[in-house]
Copies of this chain bind each other. A is one copy, B any other.
């Protein structure tokens, strides 16, 4: 596939600085790019590569100072613009799933939208609704009375239990489990009696869920993932958790039962939250942060137990300096002993 830089600039509403007739044959990262590729720069960490990349053209923000001899396409949001270009270069998929495979097993009383596709060995139990254009890959299990919206894409070997609700334009990657029982037991003299988990899970529109994620159904009521929220691989969402809209939950993070996250929250990788707390809108938990109490809006916390990041950084600097502090204190002790001895002598 090839496109001129002019065609590409039109696609992303960008302004070309340089030769607009350059022919682009591929897309690549700024480090790996070769002649013929177009690349982009958004992360300041990579600005120094602008002068040395082998790419034939580069997408950049309007205010980037050019140290680059080859054409630049300036645009508002280089990441977003580049995403569009990447999509336009994406390989033609030769076997997209189409129609309902004869080896799919369909229950009774289904409601199937237009152009639904279901792969072989998928099992759809009774009374399931699937919206228009929704695609269910091979080996998925969809429990009875589950409702899935339109234009949703569910990759192979996903398990969705009964009575779950999933929105439109949702993507769920392979191996994920939605609606397994919450982890709830009543303790009687050291024995753990199961508390039935009769609630459900509600996944909003435009949510993406990574591979091998686990999202438990509520004890009663529902576990909620708000619209536009993106969840990475191997994340744990416990029962009765509520996640607000447009949040980001990075790989291997875990949220304990009944905790409520606001809108636009970020949990970085391997962050962990105890149950029954709340996290304000726009709050950020740094990687591996261990959160033991509620977080106000727009606050970044880190460490274990998690503290406001500025304080945690200051405290951590103090910690790293401790060997020196111990020396200082030893020296002071010595000096005081000397002063004491002198005073005694004088006295």
Contact = CB atoms under 8 A, between A and B. Distances in A.
A347 B342 contact: yes
Interface stretch (A3-11, A13-21, A64-72, A184-192): A184-192
Contact of A123 (B29, B138, B144, B159): B138
B93 A162 contact: yes
B246 A190 contact: yes
Size bracket of the A interface: 35 or more
Contacts of A198: 27, 86, 89-91
A233 interface: yes
A221 B29 contact: yes
A48 interface: no
A296 to B, nearest CB: 18
A250 interface: yes
10 contacts: A26-B220, A90-B198, A91-B198, A94-B144, A141-B174, A177-B212, A232-B238, A251-B256, A318-B323, A335-B340
Given A270-B270, A335-B336, 12 more contacts: A32-B220, A90-B196, A91-B163, A94-B144, A95-B126, A105-B121, A159-B174, A180-B211, A236-B269, A315-B319, A318-B322, A332-B336
Interface of A: 26-29, 32, 43, 45, 77, 79-80, 82-83, 86-87, 89-91, 93-95, 103, 105, 107, 119-121, 123, 125-127, 137-139, 141, 144-145, 155-157, 159, 161-163, 171, 173-177, 180-181, 183-188, 190-196, 198, 208, 210-214, 216, 219-221, 228, 230, 232-234, 236, 238, 240, 246, 248, 250-252, 254, 256, 258, 264, 269-270, 272, 274, 276, 287-288, 290, 292, 303-305, 307, 314-316, 318-323, 325-326, 328-329, 332-333, 335-336, 339-340, 342-343, 346-347
